[in-house]
């Protein structure tokens, strides 16, 4: 009989954990108390004040974090920014908004939504002034955002450039050769460029055509928006860009800016006898929406699908970035459907895709939810491949003109690391039973029978994908296939070809969802978020994951988030290649 060895440290370890918990709880309680005291009552806002908004870096998509998470992490939420601007447009004490624009690390979809929110402030007869810091060389996206303002100012040492857009793509085919890894890739659709990124050294013709189409469409939106707001024609603007304005004075001379001054000077100019009162975002966030005639009415639930789609629970990880789990989304949809106070649902998507099984599970959950309440899909920076798959189940799809979406296709990759192991002096042997038992063995290549089996599986997934889109969008499967083949579209193109219904951001999607539910007072719509924040342990883990992810260079995060192949795990995915960096 096998001996069972007891662990002499088990009881002591349990006692130690209990002691640690009792030590942790008072510390957490103290933090919570200090945080609540810091909130206090809403701040007093003086008449003729200006909301000072500092737009820089990245903005997280997602519902409000739990109290502990807010204490331990410092992430800027996209919805908080939109809410502050919406309140400022209604607040009679606020004369306008001064937006300081630093180096952005967001996508064009979010940048466009922020710009629209600033335009709504202007439409409410409030002044919007942009202060373009120009902290780094380049600045196309930053200037695009600034162009929403009535006036644009720059500090004397600003180093912004308006140098035109370009798109950058990475191809890893040569890398695998260097490390003796044979990467086998199959894909459904000549435009499914995730496979190209893994296996090729350069663009295919289809990839080149699609990339040019995307860049042309984003560039047209970029140029036409700037030309209209600065009173220029597109040819005049193109001529200015070709001249490469590089100094604040050059921007002013070209009609792109209205003056060169420091922020304090701008503040002095906005005031009458004394400097204008600036209200910070953190202060203004404490102003209740209800006090300005916003919210407090019928509820619309917002459910976020931000990250790579995986089967199971959502999680944050420094390895794959943020993932969105099919079980988490399905449970959130069910909870919102069963909540009698919720009138409609907005599914906010910012995802490059992921597991086809996960996407289909969420697709079914959305379709089931639609029988109870309206579901509007709202697309952020990217909602492609599996991200589009789940959107297709909604009643309607709303996109930003610069959203990247579509990519209806499937890709399979399988690394063979036998060469790398040999180079490292690592031997390996395998024993198997069955013809396909070593199908996913990463120490061998695929044989003809295995390749055929995987091809059949991928074809079946693609047929199901097109069928799901066909059902959701009321299109013939042949029409879906003609728009599919892995091709990515901008939001504008998606509306034109029927893959989306209309352009509009998150706030517009909330109003549309409420309208479909028969809500009369759209201004009073109250947004609630599903799923609710987790418990103490979940919040601690989330905060730690965010801190770990923050050390990963931003330039690589889009690749990491869309590339589980970095873990060398073979599989079939509905992923789109990492979004091109269009700057």
State how far the Cα of 206 lies from the Cα of 192, in Å rounded to an integer.
9
State how far the Cα of 126 lies from the Cα of 514, in Å rounded to an integer.
27
Q: Name which of 116-120, 544-548, 571-575 the model is least confident about.
A: 544-548
State how far the Cα of 473 lies from the Cα of 492, in Å rounded to an integer.
17
Classify residue 28: in a domain, yes or no: no
Residue 123's CB is within 10 A of a number of other CB atoms, namely 10
Residues 328 and 253 in one domain: no
**Mean pLDDT across the chain:** 85
- The continuous run of DSSP H or E covering 425 comes out as none
Check residue 573 and give its pLDDT: 57
Check residue 367 and give its pLDDT: 97
State how far the Cα of 105 lies from the Cα of 112, in Å rounded to an integer.
13
Check residue 482 and give its pLDDT: 95
Q: Name which of 144-148, 190-194, 275-279, 338-342 the model is least confident about.
A: 190-194
For the chain, the straight-line distance linking the first and the last C-alpha, in angstroms and rounded, comes to 69
DSSP β-bridge partners for residue 54: 100
Q: What burial class does residue 55 get, using C-beta atoms within 10 Å of its C-beta: 0-12 exposed, 13-18 middle, 19+ buried?
A: buried
| Long-range CB contacts for residues 443-446, cutoff 8 Å, separation at least 24 | 443/416, 443/417, 443/418, 444/416, 444/418, 445/182, 445/184, 445/416, 446/184, 446/414
pLDDT at 494 over 80: yes
Residues 255 and 344 in one domain: no
Active-site residue, from 385, 407, 558, 579: 385
> What's the CATH number where 116 sits?
3.90.226.10
Q: What burial class does residue 493 get, using C-beta atoms within 10 Å of its C-beta: 0-12 exposed, 13-18 middle, 19+ buried?
A: buried
Residues 471 and 401 in one domain: yes
Check residue 43 and give its pLDDT: 87
Residues 359 and 443 in one domain: yes
Check residue 136 and give its pLDDT: 66
Classify residue 256: in a domain, yes or no: yes
- Both structure tokens of 330: 């399905």
Classify residue 25: in a domain, yes or no: no
Classify residue 144: in a domain, yes or no: yes
Q: What burial class does residue 397 get, using C-beta atoms within 10 Å of its C-beta: 0-12 exposed, 13-18 middle, 19+ buried?
A: buried
Residue 497 contacts residue 397 (beta carbons within 8 Å): no
Q: Among 37-41, 445-449, 541-545, 568-572, which range has the highest average pLDDT?
A: 445-449
Residues 271 and 353 in one domain: no
Residues 317 and 457 in one domain: yes
Check residue 576 and give its pLDDT: 56
State how far the Cα of 293 lies from the Cα of 297, in Å rounded to an integer.
10
User: Could you give the count of Cα atoms lying within 13 Å of 356 in the half-sphere of its Cβ?
Assistant: 21
| Three-class SS state of 34 | helix
- Both structure tokens of 521: 């007072």
Check residue 28 and give its pLDDT: 52
What single-letter DSSP state applies at residue 286?
T
To the nearest 5 percent, what fractions of the chain are helix, strand and coil?
45, 20, 35
What single-letter DSSP state applies at residue 124?
T
Residue 306 contacts residue 61 (beta carbons within 8 Å): yes
pLDDT at 31 over 70: no
pLDDT at 151 over 50: yes
State how far the Cα of 349 lies from the Cα of 405, in Å rounded to an integer.
10
Q: Decide which of 235, 258, 290 is a domain's last residue.
A: 290
Residue keyed to tokens 């097109």: 466
Residues 345 and 302 in one domain: yes
CA 338 from centre of chain: 27
Interval 289-311 mean pLDDT: 94
Check residue 462 and give its pLDDT: 93
Classify residue 532: in a domain, yes or no: yes
Classify residue 174: in a domain, yes or no: no
Banded pLDDT at 189 (limits 50, 70, 90) = confident
User: Could you give the count of Cα atoms lying within 13 Å of 578 in the half-sphere of its Cβ?
Assistant: 24
Classify residue 7: in a domain, yes or no: no
Tell me whether strands 182-188 and 396-399 are parallel, antiparallel or unpaired.
unpaired
Is 385 a known active-site residue?
yes
Residues 315 and 254 in one domain: no
Residues 478 and 457 in one domain: yes
Q: Name which of 26-40, 128-142, 264-278, 355-369 the model is least confident about.
A: 26-40
Q: Decide which of 290, 312, 346 is a domain's last residue.
A: 290
Check residue 575 and give its pLDDT: 58
Residue 253's CB is within 10 A of a number of other CB atoms, namely 12
pLDDT at 242 over 70: yes
- Single out the residue of 163, 140, 165 nearest to residue 242, CA to CA: 163
Range of the domain at 519: 298-577
- pLDDT, tens digit, for every residue of 257-283? 999 999 999 999 998 888 999 999 999
Q: Name which of 91-100, 232-241, 553-562 the model is least confident about.
A: 553-562
Phi, psi of 224 (to 5 degrees): -65, -35
Residues 261 and 399 in one domain: no
Q: Who has greater pLDDT, 12 or 49?
A: 49
Residue keyed to tokens 């019928």: 298
- The continuous run of DSSP H or E covering 299 comes out as strand 299-306
- Both structure tokens of 190: 């000549």
- pLDDT, tens digit, for every residue of 56-83? 999 999 877 655 555 556 678 999 999 9
Tell me whether strands 396-399 and 375-384 are parallel, antiparallel or unpaired.
parallel
- Both structure tokens of 161: 């450039």
Residues 286 and 350 in one domain: no
Residue 196 contacts residue 577 (beta carbons within 8 Å): yes
Our count of domains for the chain comes to 2
Interval 185-189 mean pLDDT: 88
State how far the Cα of 366 lies from the Cα of 345, in Å rounded to an integer.
10
Check residue 2 and give its pLDDT: 38
Residues 506 and 431 in one domain: yes
Banded pLDDT at 134 (limits 50, 70, 90) = confident
Interval 410-416 mean pLDDT: 88
Q: What burial class does residue 78 get, using C-beta atoms within 10 Å of its C-beta: 0-12 exposed, 13-18 middle, 19+ buried?
A: buried
pLDDT at 562 over 80: no
Check residue 571 and give its pLDDT: 59
Q: Decide which of 290, 324, 353 is a domain's last residue.
A: 290
Tell me whether strands 151-154 and 259-260 are parallel, antiparallel or unpaired.
parallel
Q: Name which of 56-70, 300-314, 323-337 the model is least confident about.
A: 56-70
Banded pLDDT at 214 (limits 50, 70, 90) = very high
Q: Tell me what percent of the residues of the chain surpass a pLDDT of 70.
A: 81
Interval 404-427 mean pLDDT: 92
Q: Give residues with Cβ within 8 angstroms of 309, minimum separation 6.
A: 323, 324, 326, 351, 353, 354, 355, 358, 359, 362, 386, 387, 390, 574
State how far the Cα of 256 lies from the Cα of 229, in Å rounded to an integer.
10
Classify residue 302: in a domain, yes or no: yes
Q: Tell me what percent of the residues of the chain surpass a pLDDT of 90.
A: 66
Q: Who has greater pLDDT, 575 or 382?
A: 382
């Amino acid at each position: 009989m096998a001996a069972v060895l007891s662990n002499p440290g088990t009881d002591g370890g349990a006692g130690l954990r209990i002691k640690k918990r009792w030590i942790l709880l008072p510390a957490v309680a103290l933090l919570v108390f200090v945080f609540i005291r810091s909130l206090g009552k809403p701040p007093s806002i003086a008449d003729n004040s200006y909301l000072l908004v500092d737009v820089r870096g990245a903005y997280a998509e997602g519902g409000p974090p739990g109290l502990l998470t807010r204490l331990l992490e410092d992430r800027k939420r996209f919805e908080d920014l939109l809410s502050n601007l919406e309140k400022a447009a209604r607040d009679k004490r606020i004369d306008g908004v001064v937006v300081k624009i630093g180096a952005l690390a967001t996508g064009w979809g979010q940048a466009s939504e922020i710009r629209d929110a600033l335009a709504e402030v202007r439409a409410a007869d409030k002044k919007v002034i942009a202060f373009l810091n120009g902290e780094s060389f380049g600045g196309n996206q930053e200037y695009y955002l600034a162009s929403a303002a009535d006036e644009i100012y720059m500090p004397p040492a600003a180093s912004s450039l308006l140098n035109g857009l370009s798109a950058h793509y990475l191809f890893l085919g040569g890398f695998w050769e260097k490390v003796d890894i044979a990467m086998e890739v199959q894909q459904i659709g000549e435009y499914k460029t995730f496979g190209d990124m893994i296996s090729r050294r350069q663009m295919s013709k289809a990839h080149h055509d699609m990339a040019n189409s995307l860049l042309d469409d984003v560039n047209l939106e970029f140029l036409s928006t700037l030309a209209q707001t600065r009173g220029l024609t597109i040819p005049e603007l193109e001529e200015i860009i070709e001249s490469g304005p590089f100094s604040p004075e050059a921007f002013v001379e070209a009609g792109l800016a209205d003056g060169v001054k420091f922020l304090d000077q701008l503040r002095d100019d906005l005031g009458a006898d004394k400097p204008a009162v600036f209200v910070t975002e953190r202060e203004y966030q404490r102003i209740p929406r209800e006090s300005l005639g916003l919210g407090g009415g019928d509820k619309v639930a917002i459910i976020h699908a931000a990250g790579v789609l995986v089967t199971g629970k959502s999680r944050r990880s420094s390895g794959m970035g943020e993932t969105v789990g099919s079980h988490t989304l399905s449970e959130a949809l069910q909870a919102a459907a069963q909540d009698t106070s919720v009138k409609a649902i907005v599914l906010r998507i910012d995802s490059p895709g992921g597991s086809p099984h996960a996407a289909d599970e969420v697709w079914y959950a959305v379709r089931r939810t639609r029988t109870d309440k309206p579901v509007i899909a709202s697309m952020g920076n990217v909602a492609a491949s599996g991200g589009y798959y789940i959107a297709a189940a909604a009643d309607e799809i709303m996109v930003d003109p610069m959203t990247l979406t579509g990519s209806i296709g499937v890709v399979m990759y399988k690394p063979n690391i036998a060469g790398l192991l040999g180079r490292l002096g690592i031997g390996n042997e395998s024993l198997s039973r069955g013809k396909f038992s070593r199908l996913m063995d990463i120490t061998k290549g695929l044989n003809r029978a295995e390749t055929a089996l995987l091809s059949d599986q991928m074809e079946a997934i693609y047929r199901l994908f097109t069928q799901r889109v066909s059902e959701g969008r009321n299109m013939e499967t042949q029409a879906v296939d003609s728009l599919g083949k892995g091709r990515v579209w901008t939001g504008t193109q998606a509306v034109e070809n029927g893959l989306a219904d209309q352009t509009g951001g998150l706030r517009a999607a909330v109003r549309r969802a409420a309208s479909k539910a028969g809500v009369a007072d759209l201004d009073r719509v109250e947004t609630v978020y599903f799923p609710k924040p987790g418990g103490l342990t979940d919040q601690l883990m989330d905060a730690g994951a965010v801190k770990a992810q923050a050390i990963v260079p931003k330039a690589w995060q889009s690749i990491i988030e869309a590339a589980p192949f970095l873990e060398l795990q073979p599989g079939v995915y509905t992923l789109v290649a990492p979004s091109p960096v269009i700057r």
